Amino acid sequence: MAPGQKTSLKSDKNFLLGLACILALIGVIDCATWTSFQSRPDIRAPVLEISIKDDSHISPSYIFLAPYAGDTPGPYIYDNNANLIWSGADGSTTDLFHNLHVCPYDGSDHLCFFQGTLLEGYARGLHTILDSSYKPTTSVQSGDGLVESDMHEMAVLDGKTILITVYQPRTYNLKSYGITPGPGWIIDGVFQEIDIKNGEVLFEWKSLDHVPPSESYTPLGMNDVIGDGRSNDTAWDYFHINSVDKNTDGDYIVSSRHTSCIYKISGKDGSVIWQLGGTQPSIHLTNYNFSSQHDARFREENDTTTVLSLFDNGSNRYRNTSLSSTGMIVYIDHDTNSSTMIKEYHAPGAGLQSWSQGNMQILPNKNVVIGWGNNPSISEHLEDGTPVFFATVADSISMNYRAFKYNWAGKPDEPPTLRTYSPSPNSATTFWVSWNGATDVDYWNIYATASTEEQFIHLTKADNLGFQTTYVSASYYPQAFAEAVGKDGTSLANSSIVTTSSIVPG
């Protein structure tokens, strides 16, 4: 199965959780699957439940997720304690977001993600790049007159060009598959390397020019997602391109879920140099299998050897090659045309079966991060496979295309937001402050006036605690503002001056 496919409608459990969230909205109880914040009533952050956390071994970086199909889709950054750092979902769009990650653009770290609409297992939309203040720097769209970009790949190379995928329907002779009279419709799996600054397509590869439909493991009409090949809208997704990477020689690797094959593609003429897995392998697999795989990446390469990582889904529910999904590192020996799996990363416990999506990232310290796809979980492992972190989006019907960890320094352009509440003058005042996306706040100074005629006084210094910091004063303060202060004592920003309300915000 492919992204966006759900096996059943919301379960009773999810219905009850949804009800809990409505009650939470009106302040009756806490919502189990998302958290709301008085200082940012527009943000509803999915709850991330941590089940394994070995502080001495996890990397001290942030978690990047874009869950969807649940109640609160959007791009989100969390810290290792599952505190929200940034929400890019402000309720202004019904678009879905995928593949939130840190990308090196124009000499500095940026945020990259796909935003668009989900179709049958693929998507149409736009690739967006934000700077560290969360302002859009630029966006990338497919070129050469093809349909809009798909969600499956967004890889910025050398800070200048980007690899993207396109699911292009086209007519094709499918008479031998029973589509008579024609035309038959099929989806060409396309990738493009694009110059980010001017949108020029520098390289384009189309699966149908090199891989015939006969290599597909997903027969025409197998289900609605695969398509029946009879119309533009139901074109046969025979290939399902789901990752693209480029090596230093200028060649590419493409992962195709529906041919269960990884192809090395010549950067000169697009020809297939070798194929790993699938129906026509040119390389023998000695000690492993994979199918319905995702996220094939070059790790090391020379004339005799290629080292790849991939996420092996192990199945698409119709064809199984493994009882659980794994991240893998495989070694290809080009002298013997054989390939050996040298490392494997399982979900902790009994393992996890992911029937779609998923990814594998290798961190600078060699720890491995796995995103478990339709299981909205992220794990971190030592190089030897030992799990040191495991967390799952509480809204269990959510899915998450890819999950990552990165270092990140967010310096939001927008100011911190403060809300203050007191039921009546002369009673206690509650202060809630947050700064969506800020990573450098050590503590908050809260300033307030005892009456509107008086000067602001420094009321307290409050440690920054998670996304929102709360302070309660026994006294009444009609006006206040908050100052975000960094570790070295630098004043980072002030909120605007707010007037205390007798209505609970949010």
Ligand X SMILES: *[C@@H]1O[C@H](CO)[C@@H](O)[C@H](O)[C@H]1NC(C)=O
- Asked if 443 and 485 touch (Cβ cutoff 8 Å), the reply is yes
Closest CB to ligand X among residues 7, 424: 7
3-state DSSP assignment of residue 18: helix
Dihedral angle over CA of 38, 39, 43, 48, nearest 10: -70
Q: What would the x/- binding string for ligand X be over residues 167 to 206, using CB under 6 A?
A: --x-------------------------------------
- Distance between CA atoms of residues 99 and 81, nearest Å: 21
- Distance between CA atoms of residues 159 and 70, nearest Å: 33
Q: Which residues contact 342 (CB under 8 A, 6 or more apart)?
A: 307, 329, 330, 331
Give me the least distance between CB of 156 and ligand X, in Å please: 25
Interacting span for ligand X (CB under 6 A) from 76-84, 200-208, 246-254, 488-496: 488-496
- Asked if 293 and 255 touch (Cβ cutoff 8 Å), the reply is yes
Q: Which residues contact 41 (CB under 8 A, 6 or more apart)?
A: 505, 506
Closest CB to ligand X among residues 292, 468: 292
Would you state the structure tokens that stand for residue 244, as one six-digit string?
A: 């693209």
- Distance between CA atoms of residues 258 and 316, nearest Å: 9
Interacting span for ligand X (CB under 6 A) from 172-180, 309-317, 361-369, 434-442: 309-317
Return the DSSP state at 315: B
Closest CB to ligand X among residues 59, 316: 316
Q: Which residues contact 454 (CB under 8 A, 6 or more apart)?
A: none
Give yes or no for residue 413 binding ligand X (CB under 6 A). Answer: no
Residues of this chain, 444-473, that bind ligand X according to CB under 6 A:
none
Binding residue (CB under 6 A) for ligand X from 314, 327, 376, 506: 314
Give yes or no for residue 496 binding ligand X (CB under 6 A). Answer: no
Q: How far apart are the first and last CA of the chain?
A: 38
Give yes or no for residue 133 binding ligand X (CB under 6 A). Answer: no
Closest CB to ligand X among residues 185, 191: 185
Binding residue (CB under 6 A) for ligand X from 35, 149, 292, 434: 292
Give me the least distance between CB of 119 and ligand X, in Å please: 9
Give yes or no for residue 280 binding ligand X (CB under 6 A). Answer: no
Interacting span for ligand X (CB under 6 A) from 37-45, 57-65, 260-268, 490-498: 490-498
Question: Sign of the C-alpha dihedral, residues 186, 192, 196, 198?
Answer: negative
- Distance between CA atoms of residues 440 and 493, nearest Å: 11
Q: What would the x/- binding string for ligand X be over residues 344 to 383, using CB under 6 A?
A: ---------xxx----------------------------
Binding residue (CB under 6 A) for ligand X from 83, 321, 470, 473: 321
Closest CB to ligand X among residues 305, 475: 305
Query: Could you tell me how far CA 201 lies from the centroid of its own chain?
Result: 25
Q: Which residues contact 310 (CB under 8 A, 6 or more apart)?
A: 255, 262, 290, 293, 294, 295, 296, 297, 327, 328, 330, 360
Give me the least distance between CB of 86 and ligand X, in Å please: 20
Rg (CA), the chain: 25
Which residue lies nearest ligand X, judged by its C-beta? 355
Give yes or no for residue 325 binding ligand X (CB under 6 A). Answer: yes
Closest CB to ligand X among residues 61, 293: 293
Give me the least distance between CB of 342 and ligand X, in Å please: 10
Interacting span for ligand X (CB under 6 A) from 15-23, 313-321, 381-389, 461-469: 313-321
Give me the least distance between CB of 321 and ligand X, in Å please: 4
The site that binds ligand X (CB under 6 A) totals a number of residues, namely 35
3-state DSSP assignment of residue 295: strand
Give yes or no for residue 271 binding ligand X (CB under 6 A). Answer: no
Residues near ligand X, by CB under 6 A:
147, 169, 232, 282, 287-289, 292, 300, 302, 304-305, 307, 313-325, 336-337, 353-355, 483, 491, 493-494
